[in-house]
């Protein structure tokens, strides 16, 4: 939604620039039907009727993608959690020093 508002504002104040941006971004965007297709597929298809908690992209089960496998790797999850706590502690210590 924010991007749409940005483009509308750009079109209002710089119509030529807006046209150029729209032309450049067109290959990377979807129309209304394409954008809704995966949601409609997941809501109405009998093939996914009993599926829950899965990730779909472009009307396909995207659970087998590399990034999904990495996201489900528990050792990486634990490492991310540990690093997050480490950064939070550093941030808290730096902020406490300024008080």
User: Where are the chain's structural domains?
Assistant: 1-30, 31-64, 65-99
Q: What is residue 1's predicted lDDT score, i.e. its pLDDT?
A: 45
Interval 55-76: pLDDT, tens? 888 888 887 776 777 888 899 9
Tokens encoding 58: 């472009």
Q: What is residue 33's predicted lDDT score, i.e. its pLDDT?
A: 92
Interval 20-45: pLDDT, tens? 888 888 888 888 899 899 999 999 99
CA distance 7 to 15: 10
Q: What is the pTM of this model?
A: 0.49
Q: What is residue 21's predicted lDDT score, i.e. its pLDDT?
A: 81
Report, in angstroms and rounded to the nearest whole number, the Rg of the chain calculated over CA atoms. 21
CA angle 44, 45, 47 (to 5 degrees): 150
């Amino acid at each position: 939604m924010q991007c749409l508002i940005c483009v509308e504002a750009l079109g209002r104040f710089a119509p030529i620039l807006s046209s150029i941006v729209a032309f450049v971004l067109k290959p990377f965007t979807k129309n209304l039907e394409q954008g809704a297709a995966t949601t409609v597929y997941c809501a109405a298809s009998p093939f996914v009727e009993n599926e829950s908690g899965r990730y779909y992209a472009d009307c396909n089960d995207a659970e087998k993608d590399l990034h999904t496998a990495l996201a489900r790797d528990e050792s990486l999850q634990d490492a991310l959690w540990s690093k997050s706590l480490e950064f939070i502690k550093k941030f808290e210590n730096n902020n406490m020093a300024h008080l």
